[in-house]
Amino acid sequence: MRRSVVIDTDPGIDDAVAILLALASPEFDIAGITTVAGNIGIATTTRNAGRILALAGRGDIAVVSGAPAPLSRKGFDTADIHGNDGLGGVGFPEPLAPPAEENAVVWLAAHLDRRPQKSLDILALGPLTNIARLLLEHPASAARIGRVVVMGGAVREPGNIGPRSEFNLAADPEAAAIVLRAGLDLVLIPLDVTRKVRATRADTTMLKAAGTPAAIACADLVDAYFQSGDGRESRPLHDPCVMLHCIAPTLFGHETLKLSVDTGDGPDAGALIPDEPGGAEVDVATSIDGAAVLRLLIERLARRSV
């Protein structure tokens, strides 16, 4: 079923691959892209969203700038992974249009209010600050969201920013706590599954052979992940798993888990705490057919048309 979606993102190498995947997939009608500070500052993430759309020739999709910082703490800097431009130095054209003048939270609320109830999903690829602010400032509008699919957290795996904490949730633990306990129709895609999706040199060769601008750009983006890894396989392609879950949910296994978020000041701020009293019941992807998911990703990105 074709779904209307807003992509909330902090591009980001794997965010860029995820957005290009969504643009290449007929399952998605992309109503807009809202940006958040995360992998890099808000000015750069917003520009990058426009640049990704420009590569795909989609200046018709709105880019709306959102939260420049977490709700109540300082964010992270991941230039060592994503490069100073957030896109690993891969060449992208400049945006075809400036970002919308509205703030992302105001834009989201207005967009939800004028659409049928539950007809708009949010695909969250970065810190959850924008969605938390929407819940706090426009609760009636937030109640109209269809589904939220979030890349974030680690359940039984170690973290990637702290011993048990994952970057997106750790970047704004308070926002993550608000979103998880809000009672939304929410699916969490944690490191437990995203770490099983890693590209090889054969995958990037296939993408380059496809010859389309999007496929070549994705090959170059993944190559940037090789340069920051060990050279045998890429870093995990975390964010595309959100789109892949929407396209082929049967490739993922799920559990309903009772989870809270560590909002302390220690190294595990943002970590998921299972089975704590008062925790929220969350639909969590806990297993994945990694080979099939990666094959689907490469095949979609290599297609010449949809």
Task: Find the CATH number of the domain harbouring 76.
Answer: 3.90.245.10
Active-site residue, from 138, 238, 245, 254 = 238
Cα separation, 300 vs 176, whole angstroms:
31
pLDDT of residue 82 exceeding 50: no
Residue labelled with tokens 């400049």:
94
238 is catalytic: yes
Q: Is residue 2 part of a domain?
A: no
Provide the 10 A C-beta neighbour count for residue 260.
20
Q: How many alpha carbons fall within 13 Å on the CB side of residue 200?
A: 6
The predicted pLDDT at position 306 comes to 43
Average pLDDT over residues 24-42: 94
- Look at 85-99, 105-119, 122-136 and tell me which has the smallest mean pLDDT: 85-99
The predicted pLDDT at position 83 comes to 55
| Helices 290-302 and 213-227, axial angle in degrees (round to 10) | 140
Q: What is the mean pLDDT of the chain?
A: 93
Q: Is residue 3 part of a domain?
A: no
Q: Is residue 277 part of a domain?
A: yes
Q: Is residue 14 part of a domain?
A: yes
Q: What percent of the chain has pLDDT over 70?
A: 94
Q: Is residue 1 part of a domain?
A: no
The predicted pLDDT at position 303 comes to 84
Residue 151: give the domain boundaries. Answer: 9-302
Alpha-carbon distances of 301 from 4, 71, 182, 211, 244, rounded to whole Å: 20, 35, 34, 11, 12
Q: How many domains does the chain have?
A: 1
Q: What is the pLDDT of residues 198-232, one digit of tens each?
A: 999 999 999 999 999 999 999 999 988 786 556 67
Tell me if 95 sits within 8 A of 47, measured CB to CB. Answer: yes
The predicted pLDDT at position 90 comes to 87
